[in-house]
Amino acid sequence: MTEQSPTPNFASRLPEPRVARSIADTADHHLEIEEVTKTFGRRGATNSVLKGINLHVARGGTTAIVGPSGSGKTTLLRLIAGFESPDSGRIVLDGETVAGDAWVPAHRRNIGYVAQDGALFPHLSVGQNIAFGLDTGRFGDSKYRGRKAVATRIEELLEMVALDGSYAKRRPHELSGGQQQRIALARAMAREPEVMLLDEPFSALDAGLRVATRRAVAKVLAKAGVTTILVTHDQAEALSFADQVAVMRGGKLAQIGNPFVVYTRPADRATAEFLGDAVILDAWLEGSLAMCSLGPIPVRHPTTQGHVQIMLRPEQIRIASESPIHGTVLDWDYFGPESSVRIKLSDRPEGQPLDPRIRGGGEVITIRHWNAAMARRGMDLALKVIGEGVAFPIAD
Helix, strand or coil, per DSSP, at residue 175 = coil
- Mean pLDDT, rounded, of the chain: 85
Give the pLDDT of residue 200: 87
Are 350 and 326 in contact by the 8 Å Cβ rule? The answer is yes
* pLDDT tier for residue 192 given thresholds of 50, 70 and 90: confident
Per-residue model confidence (pLDDT) at position 352: 60
Q: Is the dihedral of CA 112, 251, 246, 179 positive or negative?
A: negative
Left, alpha or beta for 287 (phi > 0: left; psi -120 to 50: alpha)?
left
User: Which pLDDT score is estimated for 369?
Assistant: 84
Burial 41-76 (b: 16+ CB within 10 A, else e): eeeeeeeebbbebebbbbebbbbbbbbeeebbbbbb
239 compared with 140, residue with greater pLDDT: 239
Model pTM score? 0.83
pLDDT class of 396 with cuts at 50, 70, 90: low
Q: How many CB atoms lie within 10 A of CB 393?
A: 16
* pLDDT exceeds cutoff 80 at 27: no
| Long-range contacts at 360-364 (CB < 8 A, ≥ 24 apart) | 360/281, 360/282, 360/283, 360/292, 360/293, 361/293, 363/3, 363/4, 363/281, 363/282, 363/293, 364/3, 364/4, 364/330
pLDDT at 6: 40
Of residues 263 and 20, which shows the higher confidence score? 263
Q: Please tell me the predicted confidence (pLDDT) of residue 140.
A: 52
Q: What is the DSSP string of 91-115?
A: EEETTEEEESSS---GGGS-EEEE-
- Split at pLDDT 50, 70, 90, the class of 21 is very low
The whole-number average pLDDT for the span 371-385 is: 85
pLDDT at 353 over 80: no
The mean per-residue pLDDT over the stretch 81-85 comes to 95
pLDDT of residue 56: 95
Residues of the chain with CATH 3.40.50.300: 11-264
236 and 251 in contact (C-beta within 8 Å)?
no
Q: What is the pLDDT of residue 354?
A: 60
Residue 304 has pLDDT above 80, yes or no: yes
Chain mean position to CA 258: 10
5 has a pLDDT exceeding 50: no
Q: 391 with 297: CB under 8 angstroms?
A: no
Mean pLDDT confidence for 328-346: 88
Average pLDDT over residues 190-215: 85
Residues 6+ apart with CB under 8 A from 340: 1, 314, 332, 333, 366, 367, 368
Q: What gap in Å lies between CA 168 and CA 154, rounded to an integer?
A: 8
- pLDDT for residue 2: 44
CATH code: domain 11-264 is 3.40.50.300
Please, how many CA atoms are within 13 Å of residue 372, restricted to the half-sphere of its CB? Answer: 10
Mean pLDDT, to the nearest integer, of 54-64?
94
Poorest-pLDDT segment among 123-137, 149-163, 302-316, 356-370: 356-370
- The arithmetic mean of pLDDT across residues 170-182, rounded, is 89
What phi and psi values does residue 271 have, to the nearest 5 degrees?
-65, -40
